[in-house]
Amino acid sequence: MIVITGAAGFIGSCLITRLNAEGHFDLLLVDDFAKEEKKKNYSDKKFSLLIPRTEFLDWFRQNSTQVSFVFHIGARTDTTEFNKAIFDELNVNYSKAIWNICTERNIPMVYASSAATYGLGEYGYDDEESKIGQLKPLNPYGDSKNDFDKWVLIQKKCPPQWQGLKFFNVYGPNEYHKGRMASVVFHGFNQAKTKGEIKLFRSHKVEYKDGGQLRDFVYVKDLIDVLFFLFKNKINNGIYNLGSGKARTFEDLATCTLKALDLPVKIEFIDTPADIRDKYQYFTEAIMNKLIAQGYQKPFTSLEDGIEDYVKNYLIPNKYF
């Protein structure tokens, strides 16, 4: 049985689709299944069990012999939440408990970290583990992901296989439920559909033009390809970047979204809110050499192709992956 935490969410539900497509149906889905808006993410999937997040650890301790692999994707991801206790409980302590059971019972584990751990990029975007203790995340969410990464790296005992993946800016199908935390592509699509234009934050740094802020946008299908690669291949344990490896501007993203809708390029620039202006990332780009050196060879989808697929095959027809 394969465990997927965060299974009703964006990335977790896409992973279920891929596992089903590869013939894996003995899946245990873990999440908060009380949220009605998430049900369409998993209602048509094939699986064995649904277990609420609050009940999973007890189940896992008692039934670990049934589990062959754990994808720990679930987390509290709201970057605007500043209650550290929430992140300590859901992102740090819960993850430690899963790690410890996987270690004791010899179960492979892949977990989601985040590029939010890099903060403003003062130390670059290299996934060299010796640098992790120096990183300065910008919010409690990033802190929680970095805290777990740091804890993992000092453990003398670990699962037989483990990888932590620093997800960069992920976009793609099955994020309808995410509200304000959905990708810029999703929000841009909805703005363009209703108003014929997309709003972007104005640059407040002279070295970047408006819309010229750069991020590493990675299509969720590429991310799932990497997760499946780790499921099928034994590579070195450790913490790895997971982005496209190529930074692109927000102007590029908005242009691709409007073109996918067959609309003229119309972008309005608005001030970045003052309360987040000093914590706003102007550049992120995953250095992907470490994963590639482990044998991952599949090219990552270009921003143009990823947005076109997302908009035309999912957002316009309101379909799920």
Per annotation, catalytic residue among 40, 46, 96, 178: 178
Separation CA 213–CA 250 (nearest Å): 6
Helix (H, G, I), strand (E, B) or coil at 165: strand
- Cα 234 from chain centre: 22
Q: How far apart are CA 230 and CA 163, in angstroms?
A: 8
* Angle formed at CA 186 by CA 51 and CA 18, multiple of 5 degrees: 45
If we measure between CA atoms, which residue out of 223, 230, 248, 112 comes closest to residue 172? 223
141 is catalytic: yes
φ/ψ (deg, to 5) at 118 = -80, -10
- Assign 3-state DSSP to the chain and report helix, strand, coil percentages, each to 5: 45, 15, 40
Among 141, 219, 240, 310, the active-site one is: 141
Count of Cβ atoms closer than 10 Å to residue 275 Cβ? 8
30-68 burial, b if ≥16 CB within 10 A, otherwise e?
bbebeeeebebbbeebebeeebebeebbebbeeebeebe
- What amino acid is encoded at 36 in this protein? E
Which residues are catalytically annotated?
Answer: 141, 178
